[in-house]
Each structure stands twice: as C-alpha cells, then as structure tokens.
Structure 1
Amino acid sequence: MGSSPPKKTTLQRYLSQLQQHPLRTKAITAGVLSGVSDVVSQKLSGIQKIQLRRVLLKVIFAGGFLGPAGHFFHTYLDKFFKGKKDTQTVAKKVILEQLTLSPLNHLLFMIYYGVVIERTPWTLVRERIKKTYPTVQLTAWTFFPVVGWINYKYVPLHFRVILHSLVAFFWGIFLTLRARSMTLALAKAK
C-alpha cells in the first residue's frame, strides 16, 4: 500500500495559487484584506451593526481594481527596470509609484467611496475631494514611500501586492478612524 502525499498547509496552498494564478490570487487577497479592514474599522469606530453593503463594495473595489492595478504596476516596473534592486533604481520605483499609482488609487477610492458606497451626489463628492484629497495624499506620502522602499528593495515581485494590501489593511483603519474623529470634531464645533 502506498502512502498518500502529505496534505498541504493553508500557506502552501496559498503560495501554490499565487504561483499558478498570480493575478487572481492577488485580487482575492486585496479584496479579502480590504473587507476585513472595513469590518475592523466599523467596529472600532463604534458602528453597532456591520454595514455589509459597504464591506462588499470595498471588497469589490480592492479585488477589482487595487489588487489587479498593483499586480500590473509592479510587474511593469520590474520589467522596465529589469528587476534591479540597487538604491538608485529602488528610489526611481518609489518616486514613480508615489507620483502615479498612489495619487490615482486615493483619488479613485475617494470618488468610489462617495458616489458608490455612500451614494452621495457627484457635486458633493467633488467638493469633499477638493477639501480632503490633498491632506489624504500628503499623509500617504509621509508613510507609503517607506513601504515602497521596503517593497522594492526586499520583497520579491510576487509578494509586493500582498505586502501593500497588508499595509493598506491598517491604512484603511487609520483613514476610517481619522474621518470619524474629524466628523465628531465638526459636530462638537456646531
């Protein structure tokens, strides 16, 4: 009697999927992490009943846009820079990411969140973006270049979107709690 091969661990199965189906795996990972981040954010901000529609819409945005966009962006950068990881190349990658993908991600998310998730009229969303987008992006620029540096210098290509999604998990919680504190401060000021 032959023995059956040992069962793969969850991590081994995940890594196998990442290797066999990188785009799909990164999209699903980004979506799941975004959804969990939103559930945590809702709980920490005092929402009693989880807003499932909001969670689902965030999963769709992250899985449908953020994960795939990150996958293609990182793949393109690695091809363009021929996989180099020297200091000058890493700096160029970080600068490119921070001047292209980062502002685009934040802008599109703010539009999506306002129009799709909150169902706010476009004119109000546009006004909110004019007021808050610069602060959000400037805050991101104080934090995400370090993440980018670590990502491009030390993380293999196939794990970069995953690292970014993990960091975005905490970034999403931070932004939600920050927005809540600003809302509470405005309410007290009135």
Structure 2
Amino acid sequence: MSLKIERDTYKAAVQEAVLDHAASKGGVVGHTAAAISEAAHGKLPGTKGHHPIAAVVGTAITGGRKNAGTKGYLAAYLKQLEDNPLRTKMLTAGTLAGSQELLASWLAKDRNKHGNYFTSRVPKMATYGALVSAPLGHFLIWLLQKIFSGRTSLRAKILQILFSNLVIAPVQNTVYLVALSLIAGAKTFQQVKATVRASFWKVMRVSWITSPICLAFAQKFLPQHAWVPFFNLVSFIIGTYINTIAKKKRLTALRKRHFGEGRSSGGGSTVGGPRPGPGDYPPMGPNPPY
C-alpha cells in the first residue's frame, strides 16, 4: 500500500517537473503545459483535477480561463447566438443536417459502393443545412417574432402558433423537399414537383403534430435567440427517424429488384432463380447498385 502511494507521488512529481519545464520554455507548448499542470492540481476554476487535458480543452472552447468555472458549453453557445446569430445558426444547422444523414445511413445500413456510411449525401445535406435551411429559418423566425413582438397574451400566442403552422411550416417543408429531391438526383422540374407532391402532406402532418408543442415550449422556456437551434434539434430527431425509415424501405425495394422477386404465371418460381431468403441478403458491404 505505502509502496503504491510512494510510486504515485513520484510519478506525479516527475509529471509536474516535466510540465513546469515545458512551461518555462514559453510559446504555445509551454502555455498549454502550464495550463494542464494548473488543471491537474485543481487550480483551474470549475475543475477538480481529474481530467486536466479535457478541462483545458473545454475551457479554451468556452471562452478561455477568464470564463472558467462561470460559463458552461450551453452558456458559451447562447452567447455566440447573441453575438453572431446567423453564423452560429448556419454552423449548427449544417452540423445537424450532415449528422442526421450519417446517422440515418448507419441505422438503416445504407452504404455507398465502397461500403462506407459517409455517402456523398452527407456533405450535400450539411451544405443545405448551413446555406439554405439556417438562413431561411433565421429569416422566418425573425419575421414571426417581429409580427408578434411585445404581444404576450394567450390570444397572441395562439395566433403565433397558427401563423407558424400555416405560413412558416409550408415554406420550410417545401424548400426541404425540393432540396432532398435535388440531392437524391432529380434532374428535371417534373421530378422535383413529383417528389414535393408525393411527400408534402405527409411532412405537413408531422409538422402540425410537433410544431405547436415545440413552439409552446419555446414561448414558455427559451430566449428568442435560442428558438431556431431548438427547432433544429427537434427536426434532427424527427428527421433522423423519418430518414431512417425511408432508407430502409428504399433498400428493401432495391434488394427485391436486384435479386428478382417477380413470379412466373406457371408454377410459382421467381424470375432469375429461387426467391432469396433473409440470409441471402449481404449483411455487410455496399448495398445493391442504384
């Protein structure tokens, strides 16, 4: 027992000496080592010294040492929303849109021809989120808040929810479906129109169920500059689920077409050989070509 304590004490002393030596050298490495040494001894406000490197990185991300122990990640994010609203929303929406596509691909086992989940749609969705969805949402929510500025009565809140569902949601959903059709490979106006027509009311039904609840929650608990990221987060969760289901259905149809599912009129045999069982579909590797 005492031997272990002595060994740990010796190791800590050596580590401290190395860090102090690096700090004395100055520069980025020296300052970083000094910060890690400070965090390791629990001298960095808001930390206990258990994870010094993570503490230093987290402190740097959330505003530096002057904010250590006083501001968390959420507070730093909200401050960025206040100082740089559009830029922060663009980064948030782009990250969420790309992550949604990647997560849905993983959940649905939707791989590209190289067997990777990181398909070409991931950066395309991230671009859509950052350059289209976020600026559009920023403007529409600004318009909503502008129209109902200073109106806090129950009647005003109900009208705000109706305006959101009857004006804002249709615009956002239409733009979303147009972008999805283009990302999926639509080349002509008729293809885009067919996609929007086929999916618009399905998406609107989901919006009409979730939007009133989310907007009522935002009205009650969130500052106005946090509305768009909150709606983006809700959309991320719902969109991931819908995207996953859609991918699974598409992959099932592609596999059926790839392996042959048509029946001959004679004796129940399938075109192209016997009907494949569940084990015949490759669980790993790229999906059938499409």
Same fold (TM over 0.5): yes
1:5 is paired with a residue of what secondary structure? helix
CA drift at 1:186? 5.4
Q: Is the aligned partner of 1:137 residue 2:200? A: no
Bigger drift between 155-164 and 63-72 goes to 63-72
Aligned twin of 2:103: 40
Aligned twin of 1:93: 160
Aligned twin of 2:178: 111
How many angstroms apart in 2 are the aligned matches of 1:152 and 1:111?
30
Q: Is the aligned partner of 1:169 residue 2:236? A: yes
Aligned twin of 1:155: 222
Q: Is the aligned partner of 1:13 residue 2:76? A: yes
Of 59, 77, 86, which residue of structure 2 is paired with 1:23? 86
Aligned twin of 1:183: 250
Aligned twin of 2:128: 61
Say how many residue pairs are matched. Answer: 187
How many angstroms apart in 2 are the aligned matches of 1:65 and 1:178?
24
How many angstroms apart in 2 are the aligned matches of 1:131 and 1:14?
38
2:149 is paired with a residue of what secondary structure? coil
Bigger drift between 149-158 and 8-17 goes to 8-17
How many angstroms apart in 1 are the aligned matches of 2:247 and 2:178?
18
Bigger drift between 99-108 and 66-75 goes to 66-75
Is residue 31–residue 63 contact of structure 1 (8 Å, CA) maintained in 2? Answer: yes
Is residue 93–residue 134 contact of structure 2 (8 Å, CA) maintained in 1? Answer: yes
Aligned twin of 2:270: none
Gaps of at least 5 residues in structure 1 are none
How many angstroms apart in 2 are the aligned matches of 1:71 and 1:119?
27
Of 121, 145, 165, which residue of structure 1 is paired with 2:187? 121
Kindly provide the CA deviation profile for residues 112-143 of structure 1, in whole angstroms up to 9, marking residues without a partner as x.
1112x112232223223222222221222122
Gaps of at least 5 residues in structure 2 are 1-43, 45-64, 263-290
Kindly provide the CA deviation profile for residues 67-103 of structure 1, in whole angstroms up to 9, marking residues without a partner as x.
2222222222222222333321111111111112211
CA drift at 1:182? 4.0
Higher alpha-carbon Rg = 2
CA drift at 1:14? 2.1
Change over 3 Å in CA distance of 1:83–1:36 after alignment to 2: farther
Change over 3 Å in CA distance of 1:53–1:89 after alignment to 2: same
Higher helix share goes to which structure? 1
Identity %: 24
How many angstroms apart in 2 are the aligned matches of 1:125 and 1:6?
49
Is residue 70–residue 161 contact of structure 1 (8 Å, CA) maintained in 2? Answer: yes
How many angstroms apart in 2 are the aligned matches of 1:53 and 1:84?
45
Is residue 22–residue 158 contact of structure 1 (8 Å, CA) maintained in 2? Answer: yes
Bigger drift between 151-160 and 68-77 goes to 68-77
How high is the TM-score relative to the length of structure 1? 0.85
How high is the TM-score relative to the length of structure 2? 0.58
